Amino acid sequence: MRQKYSRQQIEQALIPYQVGTINEAKLFTTGIDNTNIYINSDQGEGVLKIYEMYTADNIACTQFELSLMNKVNQGGLPVPQAYKTVDGNFTSQSGNKPVAYISFLPGENIYQQQIPISLIKEIGQTAAELDKCLQNFQPQGQERLEYDWDAKNFLKTKKFLPQLDKLDIDHQTIRAVYSEYQEIIRPALMKCRRGYIHNDIAAHNILANNDKLTAVLDFGDAVYSYWVCEIAVMIVQLCMYQTDWKNATAELLSAYQAVIPLNKSEKDTLYYLAKCRAATMIVVCNSLYYTDSTHNDLGEFRDAGLDYLDKLIKLGKENFNSLI
């Protein structure tokens, strides 16, 4: 989880990147798993990223994330560049924690904001271009294994269900989503296309200036998974923040499909995968909220997931399919 670091600790972490004299260091308040610090030095602007959930044993995971991000950056898409150390590595260490230094991209975080349809469409198109860019890429390192936010592992998040006893909710509704995954999604996924995906193109990872996309941030959730899962994330954690979320969803899907048209299986599973993403927000964030976190973000994500799952259920699959 986010931590505070002294100026001396920050300067020490940046030595391998030779950024010169630091003029300003400022903590970003967004993000849960890692600490991100804005750096202004005589070499320019950048962001120091300290991986709070990893140790030096997890260097391969950070290399995986940063190599994907760099590939997309080289493809001309609006994501940060990962800088290398003087030894030619993407990652270094601060104490026993991996660190990275990436380029700073300007813009305002759109989390919990109402944004124009034009920006929704730009994000949808960029997401598809990102997926295509990574389609045949061979990244460095290794992705997180058994990761709870990877839709392939949705059934494994059942381990968090006992924590739901602390909430006054209809538990059967959430358990029904697990049954749908087992009975409907798993068989259909065999006909869905796969590749490396960002897996968290959510409002909190998007920057914009003057209603124009300037950055897609944070490849920490990236996995080898299904393209349709990328879309499910955007529907739930980008479109459903919007007042007219159904129109936002339709426009996002149209923009994505202008680059990558969905096949029948992908269209058939998308509604259920969106419900799975909302359920993941509920069960995973709720468990963390009651165990090892002091951040209000987790409670907000959990409660948003409850709201989104309810809206998807009320909409129904037939009406959802009319948006595709």
- Give per-residue pLDDT as tens, 100-145: 999 999 999 999 999 999 999 999 999 999 999 999 999 999 998 8
Q: Where does the pLDDT of residue 168 fall: very low under 50, low under 70, confident under 90, or very high at 90 and above?
A: confident
Q: Tell me, what amino acid is at 51?
A: Y
pLDDT in tens, 182-212: 999 999 999 999 999 999 999 999 999 999 9
Looking at the fold, whether 136 and 100 belong to one and the same domain comes out as: no
Reference 134, options 75, 207, 205; nearest CA is 75
Number of domains making up the chain: 2
Q: Where does the pLDDT of residue 55 fall: very low under 50, low under 70, confident under 90, or very high at 90 and above?
A: confident
Q: Of 59, 88, 104, which one is at a domain's C-terminal end? A: 104
Residue 209 inside a domain? The answer is yes
Domain of residue 220, residue span: 109-321
Reference 61, options 34, 85, 88, 86; nearest CA is 34
Give the 3-state secondary structure of residue 101: strand
Looking at the fold, whether 97 and 133 belong to one and the same domain comes out as: no
Any idea which of 87-101, 224-238, 309-323 has the lowest mean pLDDT?
A: 87-101
Reference 130, options 221, 230, 213, 205; nearest CA is 230
Q: Of 47, 82, 104, which one is at a domain's C-terminal end? A: 104
pTM: 0.93
Q: Can you give the pLDDT at residue 203? A: 96
On the question of pLDDT at 32 being above 80, the answer is no
The CATH number linked to 268 is 3.90.1200.10
Q: Which residue has the higher pLDDT, 275 or 299?
A: 275
Looking at the fold, whether 94 and 160 belong to one and the same domain comes out as: no
Residue 2 inside a domain? The answer is no
On the question of pLDDT at 30 being above 70, the answer is no
Query: Residue 211 CA to chain centroid, in angstroms?
Result: 20
Looking at the fold, whether 115 and 207 belong to one and the same domain comes out as: yes
